Homo-oligomer: A and B are copies of this chain.
Amino acid sequence: MKLKDLSELLNLSPTTVSRALNGYPEVSEATRRRVREAAETHGYRPNVRARSLATGRAMAIGHVIPLSSKHEMMNPVFTDFIAGAGEVYAAQGYDMLLTIVPDELQEQTYRDLRTNGSIDGLLVHSPKLAEQRIHLLNEIGIPYVVHGRASDCNEPYAWVDMNNTHAFRRATDLLLDLGHRRIALVNGLADMDFAIRRQAGFEEAFAARGLDTDPALIAGEEMTEMFGHEAARAFLAQPDPPTAFLVSSIITALGVRRAIGETGLRLGRDVSIVTHDDDLSYLQNRGDVPMFTATRSSVRDAGRHAARILIDMVENPAAGLRQALLEAELILGQSTGPRLQSAAE
Contacts and interface: CB of A to CB of B under 8 A. Distances in A.
Nearest to A342: B258
A256 to B, nearest CB: 10
A229 B267 CA distance: 14
Nearest to A115: B45
A53 interface: yes
Interface in A71-90: 73-76, 78-80, 82-83, 86-87, 90
Given A65-B83, A101-B90, A253 B251 contact: no
Contacts of A48: 116-118
A245 to B, nearest CB: 12
A267 to B, nearest CB: 3
A225 B78 CA distance: 17
Nearest to A339: B225
Interface string A25-47: 00000000000000000010111
A39 to B, nearest CB: 12
A234 interface: no
A31 to B, nearest CB: 23
Contacts of A345: 262
Contact of A261 (B47, B336, B338, B342): B342
Nearest to A299: B74
Interface residues of A, number: 64
A116 B74 contact: no
Contact of A266 (B58, B63, B101, B264): B264
A225 B118 CA distance: 38
Contact of A97 (B46, B47, B76, B97): B97
Nearest to A50: B53
25 contacts: A45-B112, A45-B115, A47-B117, A48-B118, A63-B98, A65-B83, A65-B86, A73-B80, A73-B83, A75-B79, A83-B100, A86-B98, A86-B100, A96-B98, A97-B97, A97-B98, A225-B339, A250-B254, A254-B257, A257-B267, A258-B342, A261-B261, A261-B266, A261-B267, A266-B266
Given A75-B79, A83-B100, A262-B345, 16 more contacts: A48-B118, A65-B86, A67-B83, A70-B300, A73-B79, A73-B80, A82-B100, A90-B99, A225-B339, A226-B338, A257-B257, A258-B267, A258-B338, A258-B342, A260-B261, A262-B342
Interface of A: 1, 43, 45-50, 52-53, 58, 63, 65, 67, 70, 73-76, 78-80, 82-83, 86-87, 90, 95-101, 111-112, 115-118, 225-226, 229, 250-251, 253-255, 257-258, 260-262, 264, 266-269, 300, 336, 338-339, 342, 345
